[in-house]
Amino acid sequence: MNKQEFSLFTMALKTYYPRENLLPNTQAMELWYQQLQDIPYRTAEAALNQWVATNKWSPSIADIRETAAGVASGEVLDWGEGWEQVLKAIRKYGLYRAEDAMESFDPITRQCVERLGFKQICMSENISADRANFRMIYEQLAERRRQEAQTPEALKNLIGDIQRKQMQIGTREDA
């Protein structure tokens, strides 16, 4: 979003929440712009409209980024829907068509099943434990996906650079 679009966005935000002291000065406007400029205007506008329709209080930058990520990439299934995919695939494909079953899963469900093993789930004698493990893995992966979608690309690159430099320092100290 460019500065002109951001201006429209902030005017809408202030109009929707007139009693709150949102973006009170130029510095606040600049900081918000820095944090939101990578979001396409239509996505930010849709996210704000969704926020206004479902929340009484004004959004934070994180709220806007989270809602915009959901608008852009769609909502992640909950773990129960993922588990239902697994059970349907077991019934439909059985133990010997694991590849077909894996192709039927959404990406997060596929990662969970890869970690647990499709054949192991099919042959399990303790499906309750497998379901609990699936839930734990699914929720962790979904949270990671949500955070990744919400984090600006420039920030991801900066963090990656810092981590690479730290790895280089650690490698030198080990030598």
State the chain's mean pLDDT as an integer. 93
Q: What is the pLDDT of residue 168?
A: 86
Determine which of 4-13, 108-117, 162-171 has the lowest per-residue pLDDT on average. Answer: 162-171
Tell which residue, 9, 84, 79, has the closest CA to residue 39.
Answer: 9
CA atoms within 13 A on the CB side of 87: 11
Give pLDDT, residue 172.
67
Instruction: Give backbone dihedrals phi and psi of 162, rounded to 5 degrees, phi first.
Output: -60, -45
Average pLDDT (86-96) is 95
